[in-house]
Amino acid sequence: MRFLGLEQSAIAFALINVFLAASYQLPIQGGVFALSGVAFMAIGAYTSALLTARFDINPIVALGAAALLPAAVALLLSLPLARLGGLYLALSTLAFLVVVDTFLLNAGFTGGAAGLYRIPRYVEMWHLMLAVAVLAYLARSLQRSRIGRAMVAMRESSAVASTLGINPSLYRSALFVASGVLAGLAGAFYAHYVGVLTPQSFSFSLVVRALVMALLGGTRHWAGAFMGAAVVTLLPELLRPVREWRDVVFGALLVALVLFAPQGIAGTLDSLMLWARTSLSRWRSLLHQPLLYRSRPKAREVALDDPAGDGGSH
């Protein structure tokens, strides 16, 4: 089944990638550059797959576990890492991905390098569309809330945020947990849509891909993860007719977006809409100005009509 020239599976992967991209974008919005989203995604995927395939657990319960277990791991991980920042935090969370990947390769119950097969395929397209719609509502509400404003303050300066009564360590831990929930859900959706899991599915290349989605879409706007996931996932599919040049064209478009839209796609579109509204308002005011001036004569015009300056009385 195709829609706008795209396979249904490509659209489904774009919807799943929205959750993965959001798991990177949300911490970055609060000034936390963590690379652990793919690790949380792997934990969520294997948790849901094992519960349904091995223990015949209800898929709704398995989905909840796929969100809660990565959240719990994220909370534990945030305790020693919450005070780190910049490169140190990025490297520490990347090391955590290596630990998770090594565990999946060597643990017997995960299937090792062969992975897990015959995972129940519970996820349908409408499930993903509904989940993304709910996420969009929550992301938009969060950005406009007090918590969203606190995240902006943290991103600009943790010291200034502290003077405003914001606890940076608490917010950092909360961002880790939220990232774990989003990535865990992405993993569960992926597992039950594809039906197969291997450790190679959660490699470093997926980290790079997720970061590109978050940064390209825009880390300062709630819609950034949605737009970034759509572009990075669907654009290569749309470029299939030029298969030989697909990677070149895709790479050139990414470079152009980075150079000419440093705020990301969502941020740039938001700025353009603001400029359009401001320009439209300015043009409207200019169009109304002549009418206002015509409604009452200027002092110079009155003087020309009455040279004596006394209304014609003598």
Which CATH number does 2-262 carry?
A: 1.10.3470
pLDDT given at position 251: 78
Q: Where are the domains of the chain?
A: 2-262, 268-305
For the chain of 314 residues, list the mean pLDDT of each consecutive stretch of 10: 72 97 94 93 98 95 98 94 83 94 93 93 95 97 92 86 86 94 98 96 94 91 94 87 76 80 84 84 74 51 51 46
| pTM summary value | 0.86
Phi, psi for residue 116 in degrees, rounded to 5? -115, 140
Phi, psi for residue 94 in degrees, rounded to 5? -70, -35
pLDDT given at position 250: 74
Residue-by-residue DSSP string for 156-193 = H-HHHHHHTT--HHHHHHHHHHHHHHHHHHHHHHHHHH
What CA–CA distance (Å, rounded) separates 149 from 154?
9
pLDDT given at position 1: 56
pLDDT given at position 135: 98
Q: What is the pLDDT of residues 269-280, one digit of tens each?
A: 888 888 888 888
pLDDT given at position 312: 47
pLDDT given at position 272: 85
For the chain, how long is the longest CA-to-CA vector? Answer: 114
